[in-house]
Amino acid sequence: MAVHPIDYRYGSEEMRKIWDEENKLQKLLDVEAALARAHAKLGNIPEESARVISERANTKWVKPERVKEIEAEIHHDIMAVVKALSEVCGEHGKYVHLGATSNDIIDTANALLIKESLELIERYLKELRDVLLKLAEEHKYTVCIGRTHGQHAVPTTYGMKFALWLDEVQRHLERLEELKKRILVGKMRGAVGTAASFGERALEIEKLVMEDLGLKPALITNQLVPRDLYVELMMFLALVASTLDKIGLEIRNLQRTEILEVSEPFGKKQVGSSTMPHKRNPIRTEKVCGLARVIYSNVIPALLNNPLWHERDLTNSSVERVILPESFVLLDEMLRVTLRVLRGLEFFPENIERNLYLTKNLIMAEPLMLKLTERGMGRQEAHELVRQLAMKAFEEGRDFLEVVEKNEEVRRYLSGEDLTSLKPENYIGVAPQIVDKVIALVRTQMQKEGL
């Protein structure tokens, strides 16, 4: 019976399959088979033995149940795999695991699992990039109120919001390319990293194994591939999670009843509350924001796994069994949910306009101050005058521009036409050009990728 929600509730079947027990065993067997083939190429073992080991190094021959039986007896997970593979290879089994230590197999197999997982994460990130690019382009001129400290600031556009996220996702894709160069490495270096157990041609053996598996050999190791690489991986996953958290948080806030500018999609038969039938709760984005907290928390144990006793101890092992699959499966869930939300995002134009004018033009204080400065009033003097007028309008519940229009000092500097031009829609600066620039840069990168 499943216990952890990643087994039955979160993540795609594709991602869960990467980290399931059978696939993890298969990756260990893939490494053992590649090692046997490397030994055979260098004449260390018979080619027939390498052929048999390669043929039988799969879960059709080596059953997870048998591996568990052996481990229950000997209390060593990798030796259980080695013994299970050896016994199905008959006389050729004596060449299984030749020269290797456990983490030669584990760390190299982990790299294969991470590689598969990152390929899926990259695919989702590119889909997210496509969706955000489309939204940024479509809403380049959708003017809305900008908020700082939770208060109405000055106008911005929805195109700016989406382009900001788009730019961030593009950086994640660039980070991922750099990360893959460092993290997708394996090792065949033996007990403490000297490779003494592989003999004089140790580095040739390692090179052949890694080429066979599509990995690079780590530059230097002790018994482990350096765990700062795993820390970097976990930080990358957490950083992607933080972007999804950011997107989810913004949508949740904009879906508040009193704001309701956008909303995540709500199905025809969807139930919002067990007691309040009217509710349209943002449950998808709330899930995204909640799961991000788990991924953030997994960075700390990854950091603690880097300093180990001498050439290694075992304190990292149990931790990595948990945080690697958990973080990948949860991020997979977050990415897929965010994609569904953004693809079905609902807009409420009438509320966007309503909120733009909610403060009765108080948001025009900054452009008024700048216009007074342009006409000759000192900047600090203009700031104080406009501040006083804004406070007066707020306290009296009046339209800011009406208060401004009746102020004699303002009228000494500004004409009626100047005041008429003070509209939120006119104060978005070069927002459309900024969005265009982001879109152009992203499209250039996509062309380089051959998309």
Which residues have a catalytic role annotated? 149, 273
Distance in angstroms between the alpha carbons of the first and the last residue of the chain: 43
Long-range contacts of 146-153 (CB under 8 A, 24+ apart): 152/355, 152/358, 152/359, 152/362, 152/363, 153/363
Three-state SS letters, 96-133: CCCCCCHHHHHHHHHHHHHHHHHHHHHHHHHHHHHHHH
| Cβ neighbours of residue 414 closer than 8 Å, sequence gap 6 or more | 371, 372, 375
Backbone angles phi, psi at 421, to 5 degrees: -75, -10
**Residue whose structure tokens are 């609902």:** 346
Amino acid at 167: D
C-beta neighbour count of 83 within 10 angstroms: 21
In whole angstroms, give the CA distance from residue 118 to residue 424: 44
Reading the block at residue 325, the tokens are 């699959």
